[in-house]
Structure 1
Amino acid sequence: MKKRHLIFSILYLLSSLTNFCSAQQKKDEFKIGIFWPPVWKYTNDEQYKILSETHVDIVQNVSSTDLNTQEKNLRMLELAHKYGMKVYVSDPRVTGSDEDIKAMVETYRHHPATGGYYIRDEPDSAALGWAIKTYRTIAALDPEKVPHVNLFPDFALKNYEHGYVERWIEGVGKEHLKYLSFDIYPYKKNGRLEKSYYNNLDIIRRAGLKYDVKTSSYLQSFGIMNLYRRPTPGEMRLNVYSNLAYGIKNPVWFCYATPTGQGEQKFMNSVIDSLGQKTDLYEPFKALNFEMKQLGKTLIHLDAKQVYHSGDSLWMGTKQPPADFIWLPADSKSEVILSLYRDRRNGNQYVMAVNKSFSTARELTFRINKSVKKVARISAITGKAEKAPFHAREHTITETFLPGEGKLYLLR
C-alpha cells in the first residue's frame, strides 16, 4: 500500500508540475486583441470566422457597444470559442455592488472562452480608486482572467507618470496586474503626428520594467472626422513596430468593426465597415498581425532595456543613441528607432531597428560593435532565427526596410 501511495504521490506531483509549466507557458504568450468587436447585428458565425483568420486572440467587449447583456456576451463567447479566441466580457454589473460583481464573474468564469472582464476605459484620477478596488475584487474572484482597465495618455492628466500610472500599479499590486494598458493614437488630422506619442510609449516601458509587469497598448486602425486621419498600411506598420520596439506585449487594435452612433465622433471605415464588409485595411491588418505573432514568440521573453532615435530632429521623450551604442546607423541622419532588448531567460541581447518613415522604403546600413561576433535575424514569417547579411570584417549590416518596418536581430 505504501508503494502504491508513493507512486500516486509521484504521479500527482508530476501532473502538478506539468500543469504549472503549462500555465507558465500560457501566461507568457504574445496576444493580439481588438477593441470594438462586430456589433450585435453581425455577431454571427460568418463574421467571427473572418475575424479568426486575422490572427487575433482577444475580442474586447466594451460598455459603449450594443453587446452588454448576458445573452449577447454568452453568444460572443460561443462564437469565439468555436474559432479559438477569447473574450473580455462587458457586463453592467461591473459597476454595481460586490455581490453584483460576484454574480457577474460567476456567470462567465467557467466558460472556456472567457479571457477577462471589462471594467473601465480611461478612468480619470477621480475614478482611479474605484477602478483599483474593482480590479482587485475581480482578481480575487477569478485569478486566471484579466480584469481590464485601460489608462489615459499623458496629455489628459497632470502628474501622469507618478500620480496616475504608478498610483494605478501600486494600488492594484504588481502581483495582480496582468497588463499595464494605455492608449495613444499618433495619426492626427491634416498629416500631423501626436507629439507625445513616443514619450508615452517610453513612460509605459519604464513603468513596466520598474514593476515587472507586461505592457499593453492600442494601435490605430480608425479615423475620426476632424480629429484623426485614417491610417495607410505604412502608418499601421510603423504604429506596430514602434510599439514592439518599446516592449509592448499585448497590442490591441482600435478599432476592428467601425463604430456608429457615437454622437459627434464620426468614424471612418476601419478594418470592417458598418455593414460588416471587409475594407482595404483588412489584408494589411491580417498581415501585420501574422508578423507580430511570429516575432512575438521571441519578443514575449524580451525586456526593452534601451530605446533610442536617430535623425536630425527628435520627438518629445526621445534621445540619440550614445556613440558607443552596440548598433548605430552608418548615416546618423537616418530616421530610425533602435531598441536593445535582453532575454529574461538567458541574458541574450537583441536589437530591433525600425524605419521611422511610414511612406518611404529605405536601404539602411548599421555599424555594429566589435563585441558582436554573429548576428541572426528573427524571421517575421517563421519566427525562427535565420542568417542575416552581416559583414563580419566590416562589422556592418545592410537591409531594405519597408515603410514603418522593423527587423529583430539576435546578437552573439
Structure 2
Amino acid sequence: MELIKSPRGIAGFCFFVAMGLILSMMTAKPASASNEEFQIGVFWVPPAASTNETQYDYLKDGHVNWIINVASTDLNTIEDNKKMLKLAAERGMKAVVADSRFDKVYDNTATDAEIAAMVNDYKGLPGLGGYYVMDEPLFPNVNYAGHAYQQFLKNDPDSIPYLNLLPYVWNKPEYVKYVDQVIAATPDLKYLTFDNYPFRTNGETNFDILDDYYTNLKIIREKGLEHDLKTGAYIQATGYYDMRRPVENELRYNVFTSLAYGMKALYWFPYWHPGMPFDGGIINLDGTKTDLYKPFQNLNAQIEAWGPILMKLNSVDVYHSGKMAAGTVAVPSDFFWKPENTNDNVIISYFTDASGRKYIMAVNRDYTNSSTLSFHINSNPTKITEISKTTGLEENTNYNALTGVISADFAPGEGRLYALPTEGMGELLRNPGFEDGLTGWTAYNPSTLTPITDPVNSGSNALQISARSMNYTGAMQDIKSILLSNGQGTYDFGVMLRTESKDKQTMYANIFINDSTGDHYFNGSFVSVDNESWVRSSGSAKITWTGKLNYARIYTESEAGTGNYYVDDFSLKKPDQPTTFKSTLTANMSSITSGTEFKVSFGLSNNTLPIYAQDIKIDYNPAVMEFVSVRSVYEGISLVEVDKETSGKLRLIIASAGPEHAVTGDTPIVELTFKSKKVSKTTTGLISVTNAVLGDVKGNEYQAATSSVPIEVIKGGGPGDLNEDGKISIGDLAIVSAHYGKNSSSPDWENAKIADINGDGIIDILDLTAVAKKIVN
C-alpha cells in the first residue's frame, strides 16, 4: 500500500486490483509456523489524535493482534509510536513502528547506523512487533529493501520487519522474477506478503474476478512453499478509482479464498479511512465504526478460532470446480475429495499437518449467493469432523460413512475446514490402474509407456513398457508429496506384472528416496513373470528420512533383460495405526447405605472411530448389590439384548440406528441402575467391564480396555438407622426416646451412645429432632 501513502505513489495505485489463481500439483514444503500466532492485522491505523483507549479497544474487540503503522501518516514521532505500543501491549496486541526517520528507508538512503538508532529507540518495548521497512518496493528498490530488512533483523532478531510486495497486476510478465528477487535479497524473510484487491468497477458495471487475483495467490503460495516461508495477504475494505467498496459477502469471499491458499497472515486495508479519494474503511474519519466493522469483527473472530490449526497446516494442493478462472486447476478425476456437482463454483484446498493428518478447506466461490454444497470422498473414511469457527474444536458433521458423502450450507464466499480421521486413507497413488491413461506416470529411464486395453488385470486399462534401453526401466510416479503429506512410517506397496513374450523375467516394484544423507531403496518381492498370468510384486517398508526429503519415487524394473512387459494396479498405502479404545464406568455416588439405588454410567473414551455395535460384559458383586435396570443415554442407540440371567453378570448387546447415530468421541452410552443390599459391616463391591468388543462401519472388531468402579456400602441405613433395618423410621426414634437423658457418664453409656446422633455426649431433644427430620424427609 505504499502507493496510497503520499502523492508520489497515488498515480500507480489504480493497479491494485485482483482476479484468479490456483495451484497445480506441486511438491509441498512445510513452513514451520505451528508455535506462532496467526497474524490478524490492520494497515492505516488511528491517527495521532485518535491514538487512545477507545480506538484501541475497537481494535481489540475486532480480534486484531497485529497493527501496522505507516511512516507517512501523522503518527510519526517516537512519542506517538511508543504510545501506540503501550496501548497495544495493554490489550495483548503487537505493532509495527514507523516514525518520520523511516522515510529515509523508503528513499533508500538510511544508513546501517541510522537503522540501528531506530531500533535502539524501540527494541524490547512491550507491544513491539516489528519495524516498517517498505511497502511494494519497485525493482530498483528491492536490493536495498532486502538489505534494510536484514539490518533491522540483525539489530532486533526477535522482531518481524514489515516488507510487502506489489500485486501481480503491476508487472505480469516479470512478476515471478520480482518475487524471486525479493526473496533472494532478504535471506531471513519471515513472511512473504502481498496485496491484490479483487473487487473492481468501471463506474457502471462490476467486473468479475478475472485473471489477476488467483494467479497472484498461486505465485505467492508456490514461492512460499518453495522457500519455506509463511505467506500473507491483504483484505480489501475500501473503494478507490476502479475499485468498488466491498460488502459483507465480498469480505467473506476475500478472507476464505486467501485462507484456501495457505495464508498464515491477513491484513485489512484500510482500517482507518485514509480520506479522499478512498471510499470508506473499517473506521470513519471521525473515529466511528462503519457498516463494515461488524463483518470485520465476525470474520476476525472466525480466523482467530481457526488460527492454531491453520498455523500448523501445510498446503498440499488447491483445486477449483465450476467456472474456471486464470491460474486455477480443475479437481482431478482421481482426487479423493470431489464435489458431487462438478458445476458448483467451489475451491477445494488440501492440507496436512506434521503427523500426516489430512484437512480439506472447501470455499463457496460465489460471493453473491448461498449454496448447499455436497462432496464425495472416494476412500470412505470412517468419520469427518469440521473445525468450529467459534471454538476451534472439532465438531460432528452429517458425513455418511456408507456413501462417502458430506454436505453443508455455505454462505456467499464462506469456507469450511474439515478434518479427516487419523487412520489411513486408502490408496495414495494417483491413477494407480491407468484408467486415466498416463496421468501421474512417466517413464523410469529411457523407455516407452503405452496405455492398453488388453491384457488388463482389472478395470479397463493397463500399461505397456516397450523400447527399453536397459533392464532398469519401467513406469514411475513421483511420491515425494505423498510421503510428505502422510509422514514417515510403514507403507505397503505393490504392482501387478506380466511379460509380453513367453520369456520369463525376474521383476519387482521398488521405492527410492533421497534425503540429506543420500539414497535409500525399498524393494518389493522379486517375482518370476511370464505372459501366462499376472503376478504381484509387493512389499512393506518403514520409510523414514533425515533432514530434507529431496526425491521420492515408486517404479518397476527387472533384474535383467529388456523385453516388453505390462503393469497394472500399482498400490501405495499407509496402514492404519492400531486403535486403542477404553471402556469407562462412572458411579453417581461412591459411598451409599444399605437399600439405596445408585446409577453407574458405561461409556467409551479414546474413541477415534465411529462405533456401530458393541458387545459388553459386566460383572458385579451380588452379595453387595443387585441389578435393577439399564437404559440408553446416547441418542439413536438401542439395547438389542440384555442378558441378566446369571446373578452378578450382565451382557449388553448395543447397536446404533444408522450412521448418524454411530458412537463417536468420549461419551456415556448406557446408564445402569443397581440397589445396595443389607450388609453386616461396611463392604466395598466392585462393578467391572470384563470384556468389550466394538464394531465399526466396515465390520472390523476392536477390543476396548476394561474398567471398573468401586462402591462402598455402609452397614444399615446410615446415621439414624439404629435398628439396622436399612431405613430410618419410627422404630429408630423409639430407641432414642428409650435412652433420653443419658450422657457419657451414665453406667450403660456403651449401649446407649448409639442414640447420641449428633455425638455431643448427651441424648436430648437435639437427637430426637435429628431422627424425626430424617423420618419426615
Per the normalisation by structure 1, the TM-score is 0.90
Q: Which amino acid aligns with 1:296?
A: G
Q: Which of the numbers 293, 297, 308 marks the counterpart of 1:282?
A: 293
Show the counterpart of 2:349: 339
2:45 corresponds to 1:34 = no
Between the aligned partners of 2:379 and 2:34, the Cα distance in structure 1 is: 38
Show the counterpart of 2:158: 144
Tell me the secondary structure at the aligned position of residue 252 of structure 1: strand
Quick check: 152-161 or 321-330, which moved more? 152-161
- Map Cα deviations across residues 181-229 of structure 1 (whole Å, 9 max, x no partner): 11100001232145210110011111111111100110111112x3211
Between the aligned partners of 2:100 and 2:305, the Cα distance in structure 1 is: 36
Q: Which has the higher helix share?
A: 1
Tell me the secondary structure at the aligned position of residue 307 of structure 1: strand
Contact 1:205 1:247 in 2 (8 A): yes
Q: CA deviation at 1:71?
A: 1.6
Q: Which of the numbers 387, 391, 399 marks the counterpart of 1:390?
A: 399
Structure 1, unaligned runs of 5 or more = 1-23
Between the aligned partners of 1:372 and 1:320, the Cα distance in structure 2 is: 23
Quick check: 108-117 or 25-34, which moved more? 25-34
Q: Which of the numbers 192, 201, 206 marks the counterpart of 2:217?
A: 201
Using a 3 Å threshold, how does the CA distance of structure 1 residues 26 and 162 change in structure 2: closer, same or farther?
closer
Q: Which amino acid aligns with 2:83?
A: R
Show the counterpart of 1:179: 191
Q: CA deviation at 1:243?
A: 0.4
Q: CA deviation at 1:63?
A: 2.3
Show the counterpart of 1:227: 242
Contact 1:185 1:194 in 2 (8 A): no
2:312 corresponds to 1:296 = no
- Map Cα deviations across residues 323-352 of structure 1 (whole Å, 9 max, x no partner): 111211111000001100011x21111000
Q: CA deviation at 1:64?
A: 2.7
Q: How does 1:98-137 map to 2 (within 5 A)?
A: 98-137=112-151
Structure 2, unaligned runs of 5 or more = 1-31, 422-777
Between the aligned partners of 1:150 and 1:270, the Cα distance in structure 2 is: 20
Tell me the secondary structure at the aligned position of residue 301 of structure 1: coil
Tell me the secondary structure at the aligned position of residue 317 of structure 2: strand
Q: How does 1:5-404 map to 2 (within 5 A)?
A: 27-94=35-102, 95=105, 96-157=110-171, 159-173=173-187, 176-189=188-201, 190-195=205-210, 196-224=212-240, 226-260=241-275, 266-311=277-322, 313-343=323-353, 345-370=354-379, 372-404=381-413
Show the counterpart of 2:415: 406
Q: Which amino acid aligns with 1:294?
A: A
Using a 3 Å threshold, how does the CA distance of structure 1 residues 303 and 161 change in structure 2: closer, same or farther?
farther
Detail structure 1 runs of 4+ shifted over 6 Å in the superposition.
none
Q: CA deviation at 1:41?
A: 1.9
Tell me the secondary structure at the aligned position of residue 76 of structure 1: helix
- Map Cα deviations across residues 125-169 of structure 1 (whole Å, 9 max, x no partner): 010011011011111111110111100011212554542112211
Contact 1:377 1:386 in 2 (8 A): yes
Tell me the secondary structure at the aligned position of residue 223 of structure 2: helix
Using a 3 Å threshold, how does the CA distance of structure 1 residues 77 and 153 change in structure 2: closer, same or farther?
same
* Structure with max Cα Rg: 2
Q: Which amino acid aligns with 1:246?
A: Y
Quote the sequence identity (%).
41
Tell me the secondary structure at the aligned position of residue 191 of structure 1: coil
Per the normalisation by structure 2, the TM-score is 0.48
Show the counterpart of 1:13: none
Q: Which has the higher strand share?
A: 2
Q: CA deviation at 1:170?
A: 2.2
| Paired residues, number | 380
Quick check: 46-55 or 149-158, which moved more? 149-158
